[in-house]
Amino acid sequence: MTASTRRGFLHTALSATAGLAAWDPAQGAATQGPASAGTTPQPALRVNHDLHTHTIYSDGASSIPLHILEARAFELDAVAITDHYTPGSKISESQAEFDRYVAEIERERSAQQDVTVLKGAEATALDATGRISIDEGHAAKLEWVLCDLGGLSEGTLRNPPADKQKYVENVVRTYLGLCDVTYLDAIAHPFNTGNTRPAAFPADYPPRFLRELAAKMAAKGKAFDVMNDMIYWFHQSSIAPRELTAQYVELVKLFAAAGVVFQVSSDDHRTGLGNTRWAQLVLTRALVPAQQIVDPRQIASRQK
Ligand SMILES: [Zn+2]
């Protein structure tokens, strides 16, 4: 390559970059380029947080000090510690354990300034009305409350109806109910309905149900957790991984179009803290704009 063609190549590369959103390390999220960038390919959206993780206070592997040390080593902007608050779990069954959990997060996070650490919990839906496993008083002691569908969620993951249509209706009705829980912040790994009989894949949800839910989540400010290990929730089903990704991207597009905000997470239980590769790939393919990503620094600074 001659000097002139090399210069020409660099010039072309720079021009191609000029109109695009720029990754701003100080901001922790991509800042959008000018509107004229609409015709050029969007750059990868980078989100540097992990807002759904577990420690030894539920079924995670790490102590809180080690967990925060890892978040610092991985240079995350923010991590939410969201141990299970469900019937039978340590922090749900014992007030002393709950208090110790909150105090330990507060103590350990204040001993460093590298990463924003949020006090959180992951509750579970108990039935299709949207009743959840954490009460308002305990939620008030926390900064980031998630709720999932799990093995205690009657009518969805617990005793799913044999009729798939009824099943997906129950799932959406449950999520609609969760939107009315004022102290809930985010729905954990939504549509994790692949390991049940019947299995419900993202494409099995009628768009009219999804649009109703998306509008309510946007209106009530409930975040959509794009959890990295979604394939886990489909590993007993027949869906191919890339097909799941394609279907999930379409789901995320629909929720993004309604103005829903998103977070990314590893749902770390063992060694995956900060691993949000798939989640970011989904948000990027769904063209979710940076303004629709949760900003953990705002959460940390708000009064609750
Ligand atoms: Zn979890």
Q: What separation in Å is there between the alpha carbon of 86 and the centre of ligand 1? A: 11
Residue 228 CA to ligand 1 centre (angstroms) = 11
Ligand 1 centre from 10 Cα, in Å? 45
Please give the single-letter amino acid code of residue 302.
R
What pLDDT sits at residue 269?
A: 86
Which positions ≥6 away from 246 have C-beta within 8 Å?
none
Q: What is the token pair recorded at 46? A: 């980078």
Are β-strands 22-24 and 29-31 bridged in parallel, bridged antiparallel, or unpaired?
A: antiparallel
Distance CA 207, CA 203 (A): 9
pTM of the model: 0.86
CA of 123 to the centre of ligand 1 (A): 9
28 phi and psi angles, rounded to 5 deg: 80, 5
Output the CA 219–ligand 1 centroid distance in Å: 25
Ligand 1 centroid to residue 93 C-alpha, Å? 18
d(CA 26, ligand 1 centre) in Å: 29
Per the omega criterion (within 30 degrees of 0), is the bond before 198 cis? yes
CA distance to 51, 72, 181, 209, 212, per residue, from 273 (Å): 10, 11, 28, 33, 33
* Ranges of residues in the chain whose predicted pLDDT is under 50: 1-38, 303-304
For residues 205 and 194, give the distance between their C-alpha atoms in angstroms, rounded to a whole number: 12
Q: Compute the distance from residue 84 Cα to the ligand 1 centre, in Å.
A: 7
CA of 81 to the centre of ligand 1 (A): 10
Note the pLDDT tens digit of each residue in 156-207: 999 999 999 999 999 999 999 999 999 999 999 999 999 999 999 999 999 9
Domains of the chain with bracketed CATH: 45-301 (3.20.20.140)
- pLDDT at res. 2: 39
Whole-number Å distance, alpha carbon 272 to ligand 1 midpoint, is 12
pLDDT of the residue at 138: 98
Residue 40: what pLDDT? 55
Give the Å distance between the CA of 250 and the centre of ligand 1.
23
Cα 229 to ligand 1 centre (Å): 10
CA of 243 to the centre of ligand 1 (A): 23
The partner residues of 78 in beta bridges, in order of sequence, read 49, 116
Which pLDDT does position 4 carry in this prediction? 40
Residues 4, 205: Cα–Cα separation, whole Å? 55
DSSP classification of residue 260: -
Query: Ligand 1 centroid vs 36 CA: distance in angstroms?
Result: 40
Ligand 1 centroid vs 301 CA: distance in angstroms?
24
Q: Count CB atoms within 10 A of the CB of residue 66.
A: 14
Compute the distance from residue 216 Cα to the ligand 1 centre, in Å: 23
**CA angle centred on 47, ends 20 and 58, rounded to 5°:** 170
